[in-house]
Amino acid sequence: MLDTTKEWVDRKFKVNIRDFMRAVYYIDTINQQKLNELMIMDEEGRTIEVSDEELDEWRFTGLNNRDFIIQLYSKINEER
């Protein structure tokens, strides 16, 4: 019988628990802030300006800051 255990293990997505917990803490901290007090930056460290209208619209969705940032990132990438 062919032993595929090593091959299977090598294909698993590896998760470092410390890195995972840092990411969770970071996202939780972002979500605890007021959205209009976040300074959101792009990959080059430039501040992304978000209009008051966009912020007002988002407040009524009931979604969190993480989702806002993901939506903003998608919008920026579509425009490129």
> Is the confidence at residue 1, as pLDDT, over 70?
no
User: Helix, strand, or coil here: 41?
Assistant: strand
Where residue 47 falls among pLDDT bands split at 50, 70, 90?
very high
What pLDDT does 9 receive?
60
CA dihedral 37, 38, 42, 48 (to 10 degrees): -20
Give the tens place of pLDDT for each residue, 59-71: 888 889 999 999 9
**What residue spans of the chain are helical by DSSP H?**
5-11, 17-32, 52-59, 65-79
pTM (2 d.p.)? 0.74
